[in-house]
Copies of this chain bind each other. A is one copy, B any other.
Amino acid sequence: MVDQRAAADLDAIFQALSHPTRRALIEDLATGPASVTELAEPHDISLAAVSKHLQVLEDAGLIEVEQDGRVRQCQLEAEPLSVAFGWLTQYRVFWDDRLDALGDHLENEGQ
């Protein structure tokens, strides 16, 4: 009952993650909730453009937005990230098997 949405959503999740601005927004939000204006500040595009990116993230379930007066507080929603992670995990044996020689550039996630 957590996964029934997952398969259909992989499209939207990976699509959302494919844009550097949206990944940057996610990285910002990893440090805590923020308003649209706050999130837009470091980016060299219009507020409307950031607003659209946030809409994409919200549609993919990657953020949740809470209206607080005239300000919208955005919060990172981890579940879709874990869905994407889950899909990739399928293939982990693959690079564990094949990338021994290159090795350890992923090992930092294990410690």
Q: Which residues of A contact B (CB under 8 A)?
A: 2-3, 10-12, 14-15, 17-20, 23, 26-27, 30, 76, 78-79, 81-82, 84-92, 94-95, 97-99, 102, 105-106, 109
Contacts of A18 in B (CB 8 A): 10-12, 14-15, 17-18
- Whether A30 lies near B78 (C-beta < 8 A) is no
The CA-CA distance from A27 to B88 in the complex, in Å, is: 11
Q: Is the interface of A mostly helix, strand, loop or mixed?
A: helix
What is the oligomeric copy number? Answer: 2
- Whether A88 lies near B91 (C-beta < 8 A) is no
The CA-CA distance from A12 to B99 in the complex, in Å, is: 21
The CA-CA distance from A11 to B2 in the complex, in Å, is: 27
